[in-house]
Amino acid sequence: MAFLSFYTVLLAGAESFRKFEFLNIHIPSSNFILVKNIFIAFLISVLTFGSLRADEGMWLLPLLQELNIGAMQKMGCRLSADDIYSINHSSLKDAVVIFGGGCTGEIVSGEGLLLTNHHCGYDAIQQHSSVERDYLSDGFWAGSRGEEIHTPDLNVTFLVRIEDVSLRVNDRLNDRMTETERADAIERISAEITGDAVGDTHYTANVESFYGGNSFYLLVYEVYSDVRMVGAPPSSIGKFGNETDNWMWPRHTGDFSIFRVYAGPDGKPAAYSPDNVPLKPRHFLPVSLKGVEKDDFTMVMGYPGGTDRYMTSFGVDELLKVDLPARVKIRGEKQDIMKRHMYADPAVRIKYATKYAGSSNYWKYSIGQIAGIKRLDVYGRKSEREERFTRWVNADAGRKARYGEALQLIRTGIEANSPHNFACSYLIECMFHGAELPRFASRFRMLHDELAKDKPDPDAVKMLTERARDVTGEFFKDYDRALDREVTEAMLERYFADVPQAYYPDFHKTIVRKYKGDVGKYVQAWFDRSIFSDPARVDAFLKKPSAKALQKDPVYEAGQSIYRSLEMTGNSLSANDDRISRGYRQYIAGILEMDRDKVWYPDANFTMRLTYGKVDDYFPRDAVYYSYYTTLKGVMEKEDRANPEFTVPDRLKDLYETGDFGRYADRNGEMPVCFISNNDITGGNSGSPVINGRGELVGIAFDGNWEAMSGDIVFEPEVQRTISVDIRYVLFIIDRFAGATHLLDEMKIN
């Protein structure tokens, strides 16, 4: 919502509101009612924000002054809104970055040093590991700048500014548009806005929608591509507890890794070069050794990936019946195969470390979300709100005209999509993320299309061939033929057993006709005959590429068949998107108007947000109490030499037994490891800084807790907690465990 612009209306008088004459801005009549209602809801909520639960909400930074800073300061924040977000001078937002494509990181020195989670840096750690140099098992610590390892394809992105552009977008939309026409118009307008914002600078920009497409913000970014790995503890620390402890509290994981951002000699982003220099950031976070106590103020800044707090009961029902069970069932089968091969061979373990971690993380989350939705009756609570919304809408003819069809549109759209959604879930899990070879082969599509032309362009063929060679090297570096062979057969059999025949890919006909329905024999033919099952065959093909060779290849044909099925299913889903999108947009606008006494925050969409709350314990169930912190003693209590998830390095045990905690122990002489707070976070916040009221770093957020796995749909204030590694444990591992004290020397430690 365009709250900042609307706030000035209070000073202008009611008569000026219709045309915003004092701002020389005209709102089209089709959008006027919506804008007016949103403004009224906003205005009342500003006057009553003190009654809110401060621990719920992922807040937009430009709105902190109007909506949040008063409550934050009452809770213990000593900063101003301008200290947190400013485009005129350095502020906290200048130290918080997008790390890679889906995590958060924070700058902690004037030399571009960056902290994030171990699981966020895991792909880079794995990328640089081998059996001879196993950084996953042994850890890595650069002794000097020259030993820091450049990590190709890893970017760090800084937010430059956020600007409300809702009026500029909404002025060119109207309710006569279909949702497709509306989306096309938004795309055109957004291109104009981002073009104006970026101009001929090196910045990037995009316009994001909020509140179900009712408001829009421009976000301008600066991207640095020279990022180097500096340090990582061994997985026995960085992933201690691994799959068993994932999403659980109490937790004892040192989930951190260290990187450095480099810039060109002029301080601007530059491609990797030995001449690049460490970045001089606009702001970096000082580190606090004071630690945290119960009820201490905490705020988390970062990039939460996505929430569905406005989801309806129809959406919850679809999750429980289709999306989540499919993911749990399919990934569970696949991971059992992967794990068996990984335990049998250290080389395979390293190759598949990132793939397995990515699969299992969301697999376990889905198990927990099913349990949480049922245990906390999320469906029932959503239904109650919808019943109240319906009564409120029907009580007024104007509201009925604006919002009367919203829930019906959503319900009918979701119901119509359900069989297509089921098939799509299986296609993605079994085919796209199951069998590896078809997706690899599909990356040769552009080369095929060029070769298939009557007169292929030699330069284009050369360029695409070289690109295919690069792709091939990347693929086979982390590929095991035996593992993929077994996974592929299992995934195809699972798909054909569970999915209606109407959604079968074309290659199923080949299985029936040529292999008499035997999936195993069909899959074996892939590995016996296909170009793509062996790097030597791919190399031989690239020396003399031809479209005909690809067309005859069973894996290439299967890959194209899978993509055709995905396209067909996607088109079926899209046919109902108009209803669902329009329904949600109307429903959310109505909710904002109905509950005027509440300050509404938008769902997460991987834009920078701030959440604030306090360090807090909780009671997960009857007669069970969880303290707000864990210590190194708990690591030793969990040690299990027979379980690779719970091994403890000898060096760490020595430090514990001698009590050699340096200056990092708490006031009781214990070595803190993790703590929990009631901050509102989700995926994407991994690696986010946990900051105290003075703007100092006290922890790194890395997980949520099992009892609140439904929290992306409904915030659960009594049990929802953010799990963070205590910054004192991070410093202790860097200093006393690894001896990398030179890294601490460049931090500002208070």
Residues 69 and 721: their CA atoms lie apart, in Å, by 22
191: which residues sit within 8 A by CB, 6+ positions away?
A: none
Instruction: For 362, list phi and psi in degrees, rounded to 5.
Output: -75, -25
Residues 219 and 197: their CA atoms lie apart, in Å, by 9
Active-site annotation holder among 118, 119, 433, 448: 119
DSSP class of 615: B
722: left (phi over 0), alpha (psi -120 to 50) or beta: beta
Active-site annotation holder among 686, 688, 710, 724: 686
Element (DSSP H or E) covering residue 697? strand 697-704
Scored b (16 or more CB within 10 A) or e, 493-532 reads ebbbeebeeebbbebbebbeeeeeeebeebbebbbeebbb
Scanning 147-270, the segments in alpha helix (DSSP H) are 166-170, 179-198, 235-238, 242-245
- Sign of the four-CA dihedral 42, 613, 303, 372: negative
Instruction: For 403, list phi and psi in degrees, rounded to 5.
Output: -125, 0
3-state secondary structure of 653: helix
Active-site annotation holder among 83, 255, 296, 603: 255
Is 225 assigned a catalytic role? no
Residue among 48, 33, 36 at smallest CA distance from 2: 36
Residue 385, Cα to own-chain centre: how many angstroms?
A: 28
Residue among 250, 255, 259 at smallest CA distance from 235: 255
Neighbours of 149 (CB within 10 A): 16
Please say whether the beta carbons of 218 and 207 come within 8 A: yes
Is 341 assigned a catalytic role? no
Is 255 assigned a catalytic role? yes
Residues 113 and 638: their CA atoms lie apart, in Å, by 32
DSSP per residue, 5-73: HHHTHHHH-HHHHTTTGGGT----HHHHHHHHHHHHHHHHHHHTGGGS-TTS--EEGGGHHHHTHHHHH
Please say whether the beta carbons of 257 and 243 come within 8 A: no
3-state secondary structure of 200: coil
Cα angle 14, 20, 22; round to 5: 95
- Residues carrying an active site annotation: 119, 255, 686
